[in-house]
Homo-oligomer: A and B are copies of this chain.
Amino acid sequence: MSDATRRVPRTGRGERTRDELLAAATEVFWDKGYVDARVADIVERAGVAHGTFYTYFDSKEAVLWAIASDLNEAIAGTARGVRAEVGGDEVRAIELANRRYLEVYLANRKVMRLMEEVAAFNPEMRKARQRTRVRFVDQTVRSIERMQAAGVADPDLDATYAAHALVSMVSHFAYAMVASGATLDADAAVATLTTLWARGLGLEVGRRNLDG
């Protein structure tokens, strides 16, 4: 983020140019992938000269971080404050977290896939993704342990493995659906994920808990 913000446009015209470059970069990354995208493609789509790119970004990687920077935060935040909002209903908490995650993912699907791609070969991005994931997993571990302690979840389950598995289920479900190009009924998807998650842990789930 520090790199991305090092060059701040001081004029309205500059701001517009920067925005155009960001939008163009997002599109080009989506179309060709980060590896195959060339700075030349980005400036062409933005309709600016080649050199202009470097007025706003230090490198091709910098524009990637500028695009991605806040999203990891946003994704990680989807699980925060969930319990407070639903007043202790565990199933509703799971449902809400899943819904928020899916919504953020779908709203930013292009950037999410981009980050997935880059994480595959860029250690820095991989670490950023992993930090997000660890937070998810940790929250889930605590949630499971809490439910096990409360006697509502199967006490024999390994909380850590279960957390990894459930987080994988939700995050990869979103990725795979986007990658396959299928359209998604978000409500139905959330209901399915929540049922699998909750019932998998041994919670009592009636259909009525899921319809909202």
| Chain A contact residues, CB within 8 Å of chain B | 2, 6, 33-36, 40-41, 44, 116-121, 126, 130, 133, 154, 156-158, 161-162, 164-173, 175-177, 179-180, 188-189, 191-193, 195-197, 199-202, 207
Determine the chain B residues whose CB is within 8 A of the CB of A199 once the complex forms: 154, 199-202
With both chains docked as a complex, state the minimum distance between the C-beta of A144 and any C-beta of chain B, in angstroms. 11
Q: How many copies are assembled?
A: 4
Q: Of B154, B156, B169, which contacts A165 at CB under 8 A? A: B169
Name the CB-closest residue of B to A41: B2
Determine the chain B residues whose CB is within 8 A of the CB of A44 once the complex forms: 2
Does A192 contact B158, Cβ atoms closer than 8 Å? yes
With both chains docked as a complex, state the minimum distance between the C-beta of A101 and any C-beta of chain B, in angstroms. 13
Does B192 contact A161, Cβ atoms closer than 8 Å? yes
Cα–Cα, bound, A34→B126 (Å): 15
15 examples of A-B residue contacts, CB within 8 angstroms: A2-B40, A35-B35, A120-B120, A156-B207, A157-B195, A162-B192, A162-B196, A164-B176, A166-B169, A168-B172, A169-B169, A172-B172, A196-B200, A199-B199, A199-B202
